[in-house]
Structure 1
C-alpha cells in the first residue's frame, strides 16, 4: 500500500461512523463499519507511514477498547498476510489473530493421509470469534515447531464456546475459547517464521499506540473539567502530571514509528518493549490521576469514561510487566556503549 492510499478520518467523522443506530454498541458491528468504509486498509508497518497506522489504532481505542481489540487483530492479520505474501483475503471477510495458548495446551497442526492440514485443540482468548469469518492461529506441528495457519470459522470442526472470559473489563470483546476438531487449515509461511519475521515486533509495538489512545481519551475528560470549572490547584497539578506523561510517550511513539520506517528489516524487539513498557506506565498513571481528580461522577454516570476505565486495566495486561522489563534490561546490558546520549 502506498503512503498516501489511506486517509485518516477526523475524530468527529470516526465517532459518527461508529454511532450505534439502534440499541447498544456492538464491537463486531463497529468492525464491519470500519471495513465497509475502507478504514481497515491501513498503511503496512515499515512502509513509510507507520505513525499514520498507529494514529488510527489510537483513534479507535479512544472510542472503545473492545472494538479496538477486534480492529487491531483484523488489521494485524491483513498486515501478516501481506508480509508473508499470502493470497488476497476473501471480499467482506473479517479476521482475527489468535496466538495465546492455555497453560499446558497447544493447538496441533497435522497433515492427513490425503495431504490436507487440519487443526485439533483448544484456543483461548479468541476475541470476536462469533462474528469473524477467518482467523490466523498460532499452532504447533508434529515436529514441535511453532506454526501459523489460517482457518475459516464457519466450517465443521470449529466450535465457538461461551467459556473462558469472566472479567467485566473488555467483556464486549467476546474473547472466548474456541475448539478445533480436524478443522481444515492452511499453513501460512514456513514453520518458526511467524515469530521471527520483522513484522511481529512491529505489530507488538502498535498495541502501545492503542493504550496511548485510550489514556488520552480518559485524560480528555479531566482536560474538559479543568477548562470549564473553577481553578482547582490539586486538579491542575494532576493535569500537569498527565500532560508530562502523555507528551513523553507521544514523543517515543513518533520516534519509534520513524525508526521502524527507516529500518523495516531490523530487529525491533527492544524498540517494541520500550514503547509498550513506557506507555503502560503512562496509561496506568493517567487512569490513577484522572479518576482521583474527577471522583466518582464519571465512573458512575458517564458511560464512555466508565467503560474505558474498566477496560483499560484488563487490556494493559497484554503486557508481561516485569518479565518484559527484564528482557529489555538484558538487551540494554548487552549494549557496547551506554545508550542514553541526547
Structure 2
C-alpha cells in the first residue's frame, strides 16, 4: 500500500471507529503493512506510527509492538506458524523480579516457563515475541501463541491511570509451547534493535503533535499574547523534534546494517524533551476546561507522561554523552 493510500485508509478507520478504534481494526485493514526499518522508507513507517499515536497513545503502544514483532520476525528470518491476521505483542522488558526461562525440546520448538512483566495488550493479542533465557544464561527470543493451556494473562502489574488502556499486565507461562527465534543474543545485536528504538520516538512525537494540534485549534480567531507565546514555544519544540526524526530516518536508510544507538538515543531524547515542552505549554494555553471536559485531550495529557517513561531519562543522556565523549574531537553532529 502506498503512503497516501495508507494514510487515507487510517483516516477512514479513525472517522469510522473514533475512540473505539482497536488493534484488530488496524490489522484487518492492512495498516500494519508498514515499510521495514532501514529499507529506504523509514520515515513513512514512522509517519503512520505518529498518526496512530496522535489518535490514541494506548492504541499506538499496541500497534508499535505488533509492527515491531513483524519487523523482528522478518529481520531474523523467522516464520512461526500464525494466521495471516494474527495480532502480535513484543514483550522484551527484563525487570529483575520477572524472568521467563526457555527449555529446548527439539529443533526450534521450546517451552517457556515464568512470569513476563509489562505485556502490553496481553488480553487482545493472539501471539507474542517474548524475551527469555536459556539454561546457559543466554538471552533468547521466542514466538508464542496465546491461545494455549500454558499461557495465563493475569490482572496483575498494571495500575496506571495514564496509558490504562494498554493494559500492560503480567503474563504467566507454564511450559507453554513456543518457537525459538534466531540465536541467543540476536535481539539486541541486530541492526533493527536501535532502529526500532528510534521508532518509539515517532510514537511520542505523534502524541505530542495530537496535544499541540488541540491547543492550536483552541487558540481562537484572536488569541491574546500569552496564548500566542505558548503556541510559539510549541512551534519551536515540535519543529526541532520533527527535524531530528527526519534526520534519524534518513541516516538509518543510508546505513541499514550499522549500529544506530547514537542516532536513536539522540532522537528519543530530543522528542522526549519536546513532548514535555508541548505538554507544559498546551496545558497553560488552553486552561482547565479541555483537561476536564475534552476526553481525548485529557487522555492524551495523562497518557503521554507515562509513555515517555519508556525512556531511561538521565541514563540515556549519560549513554549518549559517553558516545560523544569517545570522539577525539568535538562530534561532527554538533556542527552545521
TM-score computed with the length of structure 2 as normaliser: 0.95
**Is the 1:118–1:183 Cα contact (8 Å) retained in structure 2?**
yes
Q: Secondary structure, in 3 states, of the residue corresponding to 1:42?
A: coil
Question: Pick from 232, 237, 246: which aligns with 1:254?
Answer: 246
Out of 308, 314, 317, the position equivalent to 2:306 is 314
3-state SS, counterpart of residue 184 of structure 1: strand
8 Å CA contact retained: 2:127, 2:143? yes
Q: Report the Cα offset of residue 101 of structure 1.
A: 2.4
Superposed, 1:1-40 pairs within 5 Å as: 5-9=1-5, 14-19=10-15, 25-26=19-20, 30-40=22-32
TM-superposed CA distance for 1:18, in Å, is 3.2
CA distance in 2, matches of 1:223, 1:25: 21
What's the CA shift for 1:221? 1.5
How many pairs were matched up?
Answer: 333
Partner of 2:226, secondary structure, is helix
Give the distance between the partners of 2:12 and 2:137, measured in 1 at CA.
48
Question: Does residue 1:173 correspond to 2:166, yes or no?
Answer: yes
Query: Is 1:284 aligned with 2:276?
Result: yes
Match of 2:39 in 1: 47
Give 1:266's aligned residue.
258
Post-superposition CA distance 1:305-334 (Å, at most 9, x none):
011001000000000000000000000000
CA contact (8 A) 1:69 1:127 kept: yes
2:223 pairs with one of 204, 207, 231: 231
Q: Provide the residue aligned with 2:104 in structure 1.
A: 111
C-alpha distance in 2 between matches for 1:223 and 1:116? 53
Aligned-pair CA distance for 1:90: 2.4
1:341 corresponds to which residue? 335
Distance 1:232 1:9, change over 3 A: farther
Query: Any idea what the Cα deviations from partners look like across 1:54-91, whole Å, max 9, x if unmatched?
Result: 00000000000111011000000001111011127421
- Aligned equivalents of 2:10 and 2:295: distance in 1? 18
Unaligned runs of 5+ in 2: none
Equivalent position of 2:123 in the other structure: 130
**Partner residue of 1:212 out of 194, 202, 205:** 205
Distance 1:326 1:187, change over 3 A: same
Q: Give the structure 2 partner of residue 192 of structure 1.
A: 185
Residue 64 of structure 2 corresponds to residue 68 of structure 1: no
CA spacing shift, 1:9–1:210, aligned 2, 3 Å = farther
- Shift of the 161–258 alpha-carbon distance from structure 1 to 2, 3 Å rule, reads same
Instruction: Tell me, yes or no, if the aligned pair for 2:35 and 2:42 is still in contact at 8 Å.
Output: yes
Q: Distance in 1 between matches of 2:8 and 2:217?
A: 17
**Could you tell me which residue of structure 1 aligns to residue 76 of structure 2?**
84
Unaligned runs of 5+ residues in structure 1 are none
| Secondary structure at 1:335 match in 2 | coil
* Deviation for aligned residue 1:197: 0.1
